[in-house]
Structure 1
Amino acid sequence: MTGSGTDIERPADTRSAILTAAESCFARLGIAGTTMEDVARAASSSRATVYRYFADRDALVTESVVRRAHANMDSAREFIARRPTVAERIVEGICEDVRRGRRDPMVHRLVSPGEMVLAARLLTESGRAVELTYELWQPILADAQAAGTIRADLDIRLLCEWISELEMHYIARGSTDDAEDLDHIRAQLRTYLLPALLR
């Protein structure tokens, strides 16, 4: 194949463009109101091209959330690593995940009351939310376990499932006073979560 390189369609670019177009449709039409035809039109592409990369709208939604989570993964790890104790890493790390989720329009839209059934199916039942949580937290929790600061008998994957469910709950409920609500979350985590984890 010949060409300058600018006229050759690259799969990664096409996939990214379709995801970006889908997110714009979700913002304008709502997740439930968006069709694959809408996405194709927004991406200036054909439906066949969209279907070549994504099986259906559910796949678009899931991959959009995954892409956004991966974009924030490094900064989330750095934020957690700056906390001085494992207790603060857990509490402040969860609060930071909640804060970011509430400020991310896609995540906030997905966990809104009107979309919660869809969110449960795509992220919880599929296991994608737990996998993303595990990807972020497993190294942190495994290090704490090795250092003896959290219980040795904890199943880290099961703990990540619990953290994932907590974060989705906290993001979904939102708050008109974000700072006050995050303080309330901190109090709950310190009172009920930490005693179950720390040695």
Structure 2
Amino acid sequence: MTPIRHNGSGNDAVLDAVRDAVLAVGVRRTTLTDVARRAGVSRMTLYRRWPDVRSLVGDLMTREWIAVATGAMPERRPGVTTRALIVDGLVAGVRAFREHPLFRKIVDVDPELLLPYVLDRRGASQEALLELLAGVLREGHDDGSVRAVPAERQARSVLLIVQSYALSLRTMTDEDDPELGEEAFLAELRHILERTLTP
């Protein structure tokens, strides 16, 4: 089920509560009762908006991952191409995503929660990221710094690359060897993105 997206300060308080619960006990042990208590609302208030904990966690992930993506994008600077901003933002985003406490908790305790979005379907987080990415890629097409191909396909291809680094990087790193450490692989990611986006 694709998570329902909600906005507003009341929903933010609920999402803050579910984040705190998940960080404390993981997704499987989080209950709507616990979330309601932490948020200071009734269980029925939650049930009217979210049918279960997973849909709540889906909305939480969408909020958190979009915040990571937008926060990682550097400010525009004179003389810096859109392609350079995209590459810097994506590499910084992968680093920030992997360091995010919610991501780390889910990977450590409830990794199966991520499997549907890797193997079966796109979730709300991915749809929102694709929309953001396609928009900035079109800007790169306009200024000539990004290879001009259909933006939606290009966004999906780039997200496939970035997603594999974000989700699977720790399976390939060896922190005892500087040539196989995380920073070395992030440098490789930068190179891959530069090559695939350069006209």
Query: Shorter-chain TM-score category?
Result: 0.7 to 0.9
- The runs of 5 or more residues in structure 2 that have no matched partner are 1-6
**What do residues 62-95 of structure 1 show as CA deviations (whole Å, max 9, x unaligned)?**
2112222444555434x16348234432332211
Is 1:169 matched up with 2:170? Answer: no
Is 1:186 matched up with 2:178? Answer: no
In structure 1, the residue matched to 2:124 is 128
- 1:102, distance to aligned residue in structure 2 (A): 2.0
In structure 1, the residue matched to 2:114 is 119
1:106 aligned to which of 78, 102, 108: 102
* Percent identity between the two aligned chains: 23
In structure 2, the residue matched to 1:26 is 22
- 1:49, distance to aligned residue in structure 2 (A): 1.1
- 1:96, distance to aligned residue in structure 2 (A): 0.7
Counterpart amino acid of 2:15? L
Q: How does 1:1-199 map to 2 (within 5 A)?
A: 12-72=8-68, 74-77=70-73, 79=74, 81-82=76-77, 84-110=80-106, 112=107, 114-121=109-116, 125-152=121-148, 154-172=149-167, 173-174=169-170, 180-190=181-191, 192-199=192-199
Choose 1 or 2 for highest CA Rg.
1
Instruction: Say what the alpha-carbon RMSD is for the aligned residues.
Output: 3.0
Runs of 4+ in 1 over 6 A off after TM superposition: none
Q: Greater relative contact order: 1 or 2 (C-alpha under 8 angstroms, separation 6 or more)?
A: 2
Q: Is the 8 A contact 1:69 1:132 kept in 2?
A: no
Change (3 A) 1:41 1:19: same
- The runs of 5 or more residues in structure 1 that have no matched partner are 1-10
Q: Distance in 2 between matches of 1:88 and 1:95?
A: 11
Q: Distance in 2 between matches of 1:22 and 1:151?
A: 41
Counterpart amino acid of 2:182? D
The number of aligned residues is 184
In structure 2, the residue matched to 1:8 is none
